[in-house]
Amino acid sequence: MDIESYTFKTENSVAIINASVFDTVVYEISSPWLIAFTAPWCGHCKSLAPKLGAAARHLQGTVAVGKVDATAEQALMARFPVKGYPTIFFIQDTSVYVYSGVRSEEALIQFAQSGYKEASRLSQTESPLGYVGVVKGRVISLGFQVQRMYRHLTDPNHVGLPVVGAVAVLAIGGLLGTAALGFFLAWLFMPTNNYLN
């Protein structure tokens, strides 16, 4: 798959990235990525938006440019070492570089074309593409799913359980899920030797 064959939801020529787009497209497309983590209330992010859009139009066909609303995509953000907004990363193959330069159109373009080579590169344990980053994202995503389930169970317009009932349902579901996973892993790693011969 190449970048031209994928249709993105865009804003000012910049691809809108969520966890599902990141996990499928960033892995599948061989194009390098310049990705900014932003927040809707952040003044610096608002001033970056037109510069990021101009850089995206200039880099079109060579580097994909995207942005993540870090307030909505907290599980994806947790996979990256985001310490403030905006934080910009460059992804080339399996390497992730942190942008620390000025936030101008020219500087972003230069960084995406070759400047990333002198930038700080994330280690395998820090990288969102490494096992630690993927597991961290999955755990946080699971936490948000449990939170949504709790709201659904306690919402009077849906199930309407009292708090104690909702917690009991989630606890029992967690225990049953853990037991099922344990039995599956035991079956998966069961020795093939037949001791009854």
pLDDT digits (tens, 9 = 90+) for 164-190: 888 888 889 888 888 888 888 888 887
pLDDT tens digits, residue range 83-114? 899 999 999 888 899 999 899 999 999 999 98
Which residue type, as a one-letter code, is found at position 88?
I
Q: 150-170 burial, b if ≥16 CB within 10 A, otherwise e?
A: beebbeeeeeebeeeebeeee
Residue 27 has a pLDDT of 64
Residue 55 forms beta bridges with which residues? none
- Return the domain boundaries, the chain: 3-121, 132-188
Which residue type, as a one-letter code, is found at position 162?
P
pLDDT tens digits, residue range 113-165? 988 888 888 887 777 777 777 777 677 777 777 877 888 888 888 888 888 88
CATH class of 3-121: alpha beta
Task: Report the C-alpha gap between 86 and 39 in whole angstroms.
Answer: 7
Residue 14 has a pLDDT of 93
Q: What is the pTM of this model?
A: 0.72
pLDDT tens digits, residue range 19-50? 888 877 776 666 799 999 999 999 999 999 99
